[in-house]
Structure 1
């Protein structure tokens, strides 16, 4: 029952348990939930009715997805109607009732005393005793009650629940529930909690998710208008049990029909193209002989028991590779996979705008569910750190990703996998809160086993027995292995002593290759200009017009910068993200008019914290640049070399 009707809390609803109501004090005015001026009486009722209808629309959309489900808004049966706004029956025949309270206007959370005073707890006890699930839906959180309800279902009996599941604060709140004027005993309190589901969702998010769900199953209008039409149908059928058939018959009068096979096929093609584009960016980072990661198999197994997973690891540790291998295995099992990386995105203000950027016709979740057509569906979001407060370029877009996660949890069969650097999990309170959610499982990507690293070195034609202890440690990072592979055929390939000197050797190899292919190309000067412009503008791309006709050869009025000129650009250690050419998510085609890279952050002492700590490599992974090597901006440009050679070669 709960996998369809219950709304999973968003990362904004990972609240701490409430204090006991006996100790509750009025919330300071600046912390209280916003109230509409004069929102008493009729206005408050209308706001409450609007919120209540939005929840009813959500369940009507569940019914449209499966003909075995049914919904009755305003029950005629007095026993079912008591303390309930609507009754929902799922595909297994389980009955649930839902009571909706838009918000608590007294404090910013529901206390036990407030819920008792509103009759919520008494209604819950009656319905659970009768064998029904009781759902309480509100914009105001009731943290302690939600936590206890979840934990009660994990306990075999009341004694174990009290002994093992209750903290001191939760125990104090549970004591209130056992009082004679509430549930009356520990056993009855535990039994009632097991049948309670607490759903917290702000109205705006509720409405947006309804629109997304409408687009998954229906066509004929925009998602928000189709949701409004469903609400009109429900109001026309108060006290009447409706199923998929009745709802579709009524919606047909508005020109709204079930989504057809052509639309599903289009969504499938779009999802495949987006995922293939992401796959291409990962493949460019892989070794010639990729290393199979145990974490990928662990992730596939983990997703059989959870709907939300967070893949965490150090920069350059192979998180994207783990996702790549897991996606491959999930697709082999017949699942639909939509994967993309956030560090390639421009600004987006909604899940619909994000979908458009990805080449989809609608929100990523809606497109994925349409494409799956009943099969298991997995949404893979790579590079979550791109929206991190600690080091992200799009930190203000995190709320959109939170909305996307909320949409996914509201849809049957959709599971979410996110990947993020450990640094950002620990230093962005929003991602840290997401990681702490009860419904999120973390999987940590560890450094490569030494045997796997040694085998990779051997595959490059190098002798792993010659590696020093420091080199062995460095090469447990997949990123460092990729750097080594680039210079493996050069004399002294194993002469590096640090990550910085390894990158230095890589840089020199790129510079040498550029000179061989196009003698006189202003490798350093041109790439530094591109990186500086992208950094100054805080954008993913810069116009090609910043390059002049003399930028491809020293014979056109320029001379290559010498080492002394480069040394003036060195600075304190920092991190840089480096990109290759911009690509269309849908088609994978190169955009020949723009060059892409992210902001190249300043040193850790920079006053602009958003531009610091950004770690990455030539292949869109991450690498810290050692002290005394080159400035972060200067190094940020190096991967444009191959793009510039193509752009300015004689053949073009």
Structure 2
């Protein structure tokens, strides 16, 4: 019978019970020597248990699942529920390490603990604290010792040491852990699977029941092993099983041999592999997982192969899993059975073999389990379980390889990435560099100088380069006669068929085997098919595998790449002449059909354009074709490189009314591709949209201009210039596009157009001020470096505009519109990021404005109507910020651009205005003694001729 209080609470506290079992595992591993559950008396006050280490250290654990109506624990919360009392009793007074565990994170204590641990002494620790953490440290000190920070010279009556030092030591002896229940369960099951035989769930049940019956007892590892052995659960033999070591090595070799990782034998090192290897090897890297993402065919598997090879070479145990080539299952233990002949999770086997050493789990072809691919979405549950298990091992790193489209559009994969956000970083696999493409083409024995820019762009996709490599040899005169991916696939098909034609069997065995495999894969909706479903003729099959047309995985056969399967399927489908509508109606319109529909449309567009148009019209109009298929078809048309009028005629029908699901899909398909923008511009469609009476159509057109200005600046400029001056409403829309899209960065014509429209005679001063205010704000902070130059030139134009209204900039005019055109921070940004551009654009307009506003009374230097206070006390007055920024910019270019600096100060020297002289003198006050350094560069060698005030 348990005692009242904490012991009785054990039965109802599942979270606390799980945490106790987690500590039992530490005993089983040999990391601890004993655990005492709910000790009676002072040792058990405010803690759940005490745990002893081999070196004599003692830990005490306090578990609080959560608190109501709070997202985290503050220092005050912990004091209120008695946790800090436990810290005082067991750590401050008793010297034990204190561990607090909850599903809710303490607000600041984990960060304080990290800073305390890395600081060599208290002064270094205190110096590292930002104000918010310093406040929490002071609060903790007060609640532990009753000492306020204002009396930190007081000493603790028990220890006789400074309380700052004691609080720092206490923090170093504490750990503050936040772990949700599911993650805790995953960790326990993963560890039990690695260290024990049998079902880890059964072992968890045995240990949990033992904990309930052992309250107030001191437990040793021998007690736990004895209880487990009575239930037939023994220590795992994974680390001693030589067969598992051999199988792990075989898994790695099979993976590396299952894919051609070279281009005609040439390895193309990729920077993404270098980045991943460096992150995995960096002991200071806090993120243990990497998502390797990229579009289809970009070479993700090739990069993953380089990572696997290099990590194995430096001594890591590596287990790569290709989920497009495993038998479908939702249970990790069944994957272990497939690969190792053991009903254990691959994570447990890898962890057991690593025995605490560094290891890497690779989950390849993650997109094969997405609902977007539609092939085996149920297998995601096994992937999810493996990822959660891997988190339990600090020595295990995780590489997840996935197609970017699936990761972005599959909610489950997005959730997985979000869950791993704290632990994971993403690396995007990009296209090959054009230099690499030419190197590979030369390696294949072809002439890289014969490649057109369009061909180089096609070959930057490694899949296309692999197709080119597969069709070289013999007469290569036609190898470079391609303009599209289909051309590459067609030539690859013809070359492989020709090379393999003298087969012992049927002269058509090439087509027979490939089409039979295509049917089997289509029927099973998996990328590998059992050998038994294919025609007899192992010799023919072996030759196709040797020629890298097919791949073999045990007793199953597949195409060398999913893209080639899609091509073969589309080729056969189009040869049979079946309408796409009939095909879709004859089978489930599930997600598996998506890639087939995409490839059929691409193939038929090249092969039979009229049939392709019929497919589009009929499928889009058919009410029984599912929306996701129609949306995909529209997307395929949106991606064509040479839009045709017949395709636009189909799209146009769905844009007659603004609303409608297909109308939205058509607009989305048009949103990004440059070819469609060019086509509709040249057809006059865009100009019609921009002048449309339909506000939605007009708005879409203007937004599209904003999006396309970077890639098509001249066409966008044509359209905007054509609209300017038609009406005030259209001018406002043009100004909005130019101002907020950043269009002027990419086109001088558009920049000029802004200044023309913003300063039209019929516009009032307030309108002009607001136009320049928005324009300067956008371009001052534009991510493209050219934006800062646009902002500088706009400032110069603005200063010239002020010559017409100099009184508006007067301090006493209180003209808010004028003074708000540019802020102090924006001027500081211009001076810091582009001092040369600021001086070039603004110095002469500034000098001209001074001359225009000068009060020519008496002898020079003259005061002026704008800066008459000069550089007196700063008044937070907008024109004064300009003076400060010009000085800062001049000081910077004094070193970086001395010729420009000399020319600028010469213009200032020749001015008859006091404000110009003030800017000059402060600009010369550079650390290197600018007045002397540049005196020899000034005409006349001194400053006296203009009566400058020194």
Query: 1:214-293, aligned counterparts within 5 Å?
Result: 214-219=192-197, 221-235=198-212, 237-260=214-237, 263-283=240-260, 287-293=264-270
The question of 1:52 aligning with 2:33 is answered no
Aligned 8 A contact 1:268 1:371 in 2 = yes
Aligned to 1:399: 381
Counterparts of 1:589-604 in structure 2, within 5 Å, are 589-591=554-556
- Whether 1:297 aligns to 2:274 is yes
- Name structure 1 gaps, 5 residues minimum: 1-40, 554-577, 584-588, 633-652
Closer, same or farther: CA 461–582 of 1 in aligned 2, 3 Å:
closer
Once residues 335 and 474 of structure 1 are traced to their aligned partners in structure 2, the CA distance between those partners, rounded to angstroms, is 36
Structure 2 counterpart of 1:132, from 94, 97, 101:
97
The residue aligned with 2:176 is: 197
For the 8 Å contact 1:388–1:424, the answer to whether it is kept is yes
Q: Contact 1:484–1:502 at 8 Å: present in 2 too?
A: yes
User: Aligned partners of 1:195, 1:613: CA distance in 2, in Å?
Assistant: 55
Aligned to 1:318: 299
CA distance in 2, matches of 1:629, 1:151: 65
Report which stretch shifted further, 339-348 or 506-515.
506-515
Aligned to 1:153, which of 108, 114, 117? 114
- In structure 1, distance between residues paired with 2:267 and 2:327: 30
Report the counterpart of residue 10 of structure 1 in structure 2: none
Aligned pairs for 1:571-610 (under 5 A) are 580-581=550-551, 583=553, 589-591=554-556, 610=591
The answer to whether residue 451 in structure 2 is matched with residue 467 in structure 1 is yes
Q: Which has the higher contact order (CA 8 A, sep 6+)?
A: 1
Cα distance in 2 for residues equivalent to 1:118 and 1:623: 68
Asked if 1 retains the 8 angstrom alpha-carbon contact of 2:293 and 2:404, the reply is yes
Q: Give the Cα separation in 2 of the matches to 1:215 and 1:339.
A: 19
- Per the normalisation by structure 1, the TM-score is 0.68
Alignment: residue pair count: 541
Gaps of 5+ in 2: 120-124, 150-163, 541-547, 571-579, 616-950
Residue 324 of structure 2 aligns with which residue? 343
Equivalent residue of 1:84, what SS? coil
Give CA-to-partner distance per residue, 1:250-306, whole Å, 9 cap, x none: 544444443347853232223223222222212477642222333323222211344
Aligned counterpart for 1:494 among listed residues 480, 486, 495 = 480
- Farther off after superposition, 306-315 or 462-471: 306-315
Specify whether residues 500 and 596 from structure 1 end up closer, same or farther in structure 2 by C-alpha distance, changes over 3 A only: closer
Residue in 2 that maps onto 1:6: none
Tell me if structure 1 keeps the 8 A contact 2:36–2:216: yes
- Identify the residue that residue 510 of structure 1 maps to in structure 2: 496
Secondary structure of the 2:258 match is: helix
Aligned-partner SS, 1:324: helix
- Contact kept, 8 Å, 1:48 with 1:101, in 2: the verdict is no
Matched, 1:372 2:372: no
2: distance between equivalents of 1:476 and 1:426?
A: 23
CA distance, structure 2, for counterparts of residue 165 and residue 444 of structure 1: 36
CA deviations over 1:73-109 (Å, ceiling 9, x no partner): 52427666444333445678775544445567x6796
Take 1:72 and 1:100, find their aligned partners in 2: how far apart are those partners?
Answer: 15
Can you list the C-alpha shifts for 1:159-217, whole angstroms capped at 9, x where unaligned?
Answer: 96657999xxxx9xx99x9999999999999x9799553433445x6556434422322
Do the aligned residues in 1 keep the contact of 2:368 with 2:377 (CA within 8 Å)? yes
Contact 1:487 1:505 in 2 (8 A): yes
**What is the CA–CA distance in structure 1 between the aligned matches of 2:57 and 2:602, rounded to whole Å?**
58
Please give the alpha-carbon distance, in whole angstroms, between the structure 2 residues aligned to 1:217 and 1:444: 36
1:515 to partner: Cα distance = 4.0
Q: Which moved more, 1:180-189 or 1:386-395?
A: 180-189
**Structure 1 residues 531, 162: closer, same or farther in 2, change over 3 A?**
farther
1:591 Cα deviation from its structure 2 partner: 4.0
- Corresponding residue for 2:796? none
- Report the Cα distance in structure 2 between the residues aligned to 1:450 and 1:154, rounded to whole angstroms: 47
1:454 lines up with 2:406 in the alignment: no
Q: Report the counterpart of residue 558 of structure 1 in structure 2.
A: none
- Residue of structure 2 in register with 1:76 after alignment: 39
Q: Is the 8 A contact 1:391 1:613 kept in 2?
A: yes
Cα 1:410/1:327, change in 2 over 3 Å: same
Cα deviation, residue 410, structure 1: 1.0
Q: Which residue of 2 is the match for residue 86 of structure 1?
A: 49
**What is the match of residue 931 of structure 2?**
none
Aligned Cα root-mean-square deviation (Å)? 5.0
Q: Taking structure 1 as reference, are residues 376 and 480 closer, same or farther at Cα in structure 2, changes over 3 Å only?
A: same
Secondary structure of the structure 2 residue equivalent to 1:406: helix
Task: Give the distance between the partners of 2:559 and 2:487, measured in 1 at CA.
Answer: 27
Q: Structure 1 residues 165, 254: closer, same or farther in 2, change over 3 A? A: same
| In structure 2, distance between residues paired with 1:181 and 1:193 | 17
Is residue 432 from structure 1 mapped to residue 414 from structure 2 by the alignment? yes
Shift of 1:365: 0.8
- When residues 284 and 312 of structure 1 are mapped into structure 2, their CA distance, relative to the original with a 3 A threshold, is closer
CA deviation map 1:322-351 (0-9, x unaligned): 222222222222221111111223331222
> Is the contact between residue 152 and residue 161 of structure 1 (CA under 8 Å) also seen in structure 2?
no
Aligned to 2:404: 422
User: Aligned equivalents of 2:374 and 2:98: distance in 1?
Assistant: 42
More divergent stretch after superposition (117-126 vs 351-360): 117-126
Secondary structure of the 2:241 match is helix
| CA distance in structure 2 between the partners assigned to 1:116 and 1:406 by the alignment | 30
Q: Quick one: distance in 2 between partners of 1:318 and 1:596? A: 13
Larger radius of gyration: 2
**TM-score between the two structures when normalised by the length of structure 2:** 0.48
Q: For the residues of structure 2 that align with 1:425 and 1:146, how far apart are their CA atoms?
A: 32
> Could you tell me whether the CA contact under 8 Å between 2:36 and 2:50 is conserved in 1?
yes
The secondary structure found in structure 2 opposite 1:354 is helix
Match of residue 355 from structure 1: 336
CA 1:154 to 1:450, structure 2 compared with 1: closer, same or farther past 3 Å? farther
Cα shift at 1:480: 1.6
Change (3 A) 1:459 1:93: farther
Q: What pairs up with 1:554-573 in 2 under 5 angstroms?
A: none
User: What displacement does 1:485 show?
Assistant: 0.2
Whether contact under 8 Å (1:531, 1:597) holds in the other structure is no
SS at match of 1:628: helix
**Could you give the per-residue CA deviations for residues 102-146 of structure 1, whole angstroms, max 9, x where no partner exists?**
567x679668699669827646865786773433244xxx36x47
Answer 1 or 2: which has greater helix percent: 2
1:323–1:547: structure 2 CA closer, same or farther, 3 Å change rule?
closer
Shift, 1:493, TM fit: 0.6
In the other structure, the counterpart of 2:638 is none
- Taking the aligned partners of 1:294 and 1:474, their CA distance within structure 2 comes to 20
Does 2:188 match 1:210? Answer: yes
Determine the structure 2 residue equivalent to 1:531: 518
